[in-house]
Homo-oligomer: A and B are copies of this chain.
């Protein structure tokens, strides 16, 4: 008598997979278009779900954006931890870290864009996420340990602070990716072109080490 003997169950995927596909789709849409530019509809379509599911799992567009940010930050910090810098001599550790940052930002332009976007929003969303807050202190202490070892060994200047080194290092790596488009348009040369890449990777390491060795 009932129309269908079986429940409709058109998309009986497991919740974890649905959540994951939403997150992946959101990562793409947000990094492509920004927080204001991203469309909830487009995310749902890309994820192969409905808008309703986004609200079901992430409560709001903002909530989803925050989840994406957390996921993205977790990625880089995890990779950082895997570098095994403690085992290396100070100068090698710095070199390795610098090259890692260089490679990571280049390989993950969507992460770079996301961070730019979050800065446009004055970091309001990561400020509300304890997850991210917790994750990040580590880099600084990691660099701190390297610096201490190098200073004790007399190869690094004594007045360099971990945050300085982090900035010096990350600025270059981040900037060439984050500002790729304006730089490329204005100077008529893509800063990520293979022609420049090798030279710049060397430059980064050199300038950081040169700074640390000074005095």
Q: Is the CB of A182 within 8 A of B120?
A: no
A6-14, A58-66, A86-94, A200-208 - the one binding chain B: A200-208
Nearest chain B CB to A197 CB, angstrom units: 12
Contact with B along A177-194 (1 / 0, CB 8 A): 011111111110101000
- Residues of chain B with a CB closer than 8 A to A203's CB: 164, 168, 211
Q: Return the chain B residue nearest A179 by Cβ.
A: B119
CA distance A25 to B158 in the complex (A): 47
Cβ of A123 under 8 Å from chain B? yes
CA distance A181 to B115 in the complex (A): 10
A15-23, A44-52, A126-134, A147-155 - the one binding chain B: A126-134
Q: Is the CB of B133 within 8 A of A207?
A: no
Q: Is the CB of A120 within 8 A of B117?
A: yes
- Residues of chain B with a CB closer than 8 A to A100's CB: none
Known: A36-B34, A164-B203, A175-B170. A185 touches B116 (CB 8 A): no
- Residues of chain B with a CB closer than 8 A to A186's CB: 126, 132-133, 136-137
Which 10 pairs show the lowest CB-CB distances between chains A and B? A123-B181, A171-B175, A210-B210, A36-B36, A136-B186, A207-B211, A123-B185, A171-B172, A36-B37, A171-B171
Q: Which A residues lie at the B interface, using CB under 8 A?
A: 33-37, 113, 115-123, 126-127, 132-133, 136-137, 140, 159, 161, 163-164, 166-168, 170-172, 174-176, 178-187, 189, 191, 196, 199-200, 203, 206-208, 210-211, 214
